[in-house]
C-alpha cells in the first residue's frame, strides 16, 4: 500500500473498534505500518487481520493505558517490530457507563467513578504522550501525535462532570506548547477544526 503515510510507522490505542479501528485501517491504506493496541491483544487482532488481509502490515498489542509499564511496553514493541514510531493516535478511552450509572450529577458521583474516568481518559493520554514523545525525540526525526478528546472537552455537560473534566484535560495537554526537551505546536487549532473532537501536536526537537 502506498499513500501519504508511506514508510511511516503509527501506534493507535483503542484500535479494536470504532474511531480507533477506522483510523488504523485508513492509516494502513495510506501506507503506514501499524501497531494496533487495545486492553486485550485478542481484541486488537481483529483490526490487524483486516489490515493484513488488505495487504498492509500491522501487529496487535495488548495493554492498559492506565499502567505506565504497559504503555512503555506498547512503544517498545512497536519499535521492536518496525524500528521507529512516526505517528501516534491516543484514542483509548471509556464512557460514563464504564465507571458507574449514567446520568449522575456532580454531587452524585463517587470518588471511585471520578478517579476511574480520569485514569483512562486523561492519565492514559498523558502516559502515552510521555513515552511516544521520548521515542520520537530519541529518533531525532520528530513525529505527529493526535489525541482524541470530545465536544465535552469544549463545553460542560450537567450529568458527565468526570468525563468533561477528563476531556478538558486532554485538550489542555494537546494545546500545551512545551514539554521537556521538545516543542509541541498545535497543528489544528480546535476552534478552527471542522471536527473539534481531537487535537493534534507536531513534535519537534528544540534547538
Active-site annotation, residues: 163
Q: Determine the angle formed by the axes of helices 161-175 and 111-118, rounding to 10 degrees.
A: 30
Backbone angles phi, psi at 147, to 5 degrees: -115, 130
- Is residue 80 classed as helix, strand or coil in its secondary structure? helix
Q: For residue 177, give every residue at least 6 positions away whose Cβ sits within 8 Å of its Cβ, in sequence order, or none.
A: 183, 184, 185, 186
Q: For residue 179, give every residue at least 6 positions away whose Cβ sits within 8 Å of its Cβ, in sequence order, or none.
A: 129, 133
Q: Cα separation of 123 and 145, whole Å?
A: 16
Q: Residue 50's CB: how many other CB atoms inside 10 A?
A: 16
Q: Cα separation of 201 and 143, whole Å?
A: 9
Q: Cα separation of 140 and 177, whole Å?
A: 19
Amino acid at each position: 500500500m502506498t499513500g501519504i503515510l508511506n514508510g511511516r510507522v503509527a501506534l493507535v490505542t483503542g484500535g479494536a473498534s470504532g474511531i480507533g479501528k477506522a483510523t488504523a485501517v485508513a492509516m494502513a491504506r495510506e501506507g503506514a505500518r501499524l501497531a494496533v493496541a487495545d486492553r486485550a491483544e485478542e481484541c486488537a487482532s481483529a483490526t490487524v487481520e483486516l489490515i493484513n488481509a488488505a495487504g498492509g502490515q500491522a501487529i496487535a498489542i495488548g495493554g492498559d493505558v492506565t499502567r505506565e509499564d504497559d504503555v512503555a511496553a506498547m512503544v517498545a514493541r512497536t519499535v521492536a517490530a518496525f524500528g521507529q514510531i512516526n505517528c501516534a493516535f491516543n484514542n483509548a478511552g471509556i464512557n460514563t457507563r464504564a465507571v458507574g450509572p449514567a446520568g449522575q450529577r456532580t454531587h452524585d458521583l463517587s470518588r471511585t467513578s471520578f478517579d476511574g474516568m480520569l485514569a483512562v481518559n486523561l492519565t492514559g493520554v498523558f502516559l502515552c504522550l510521555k513515552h511516544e514523545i521520548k521515542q520520537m525525540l530519541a529518533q531525532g526525526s520528530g513525529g505527529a501525535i493526535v489525541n482524541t478528546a470530545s465536544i465535552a472537552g469544549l463545553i460542560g455537560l450537567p450529568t458527565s462532570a468526570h468525563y468533561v473534566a477528563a476531556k478538558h484535560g486532554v485538550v489542555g495537554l494537546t494545546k500545551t506548547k512545551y514539554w521537556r526537551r521538545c516543542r509541541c505546536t498545535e497543528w489544528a487549532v480546535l476552534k478552527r477544526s471542522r471536527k473539534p473532537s481531537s487535537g493534534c501536536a507536531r513534535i519537534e526537537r528544540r534547538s
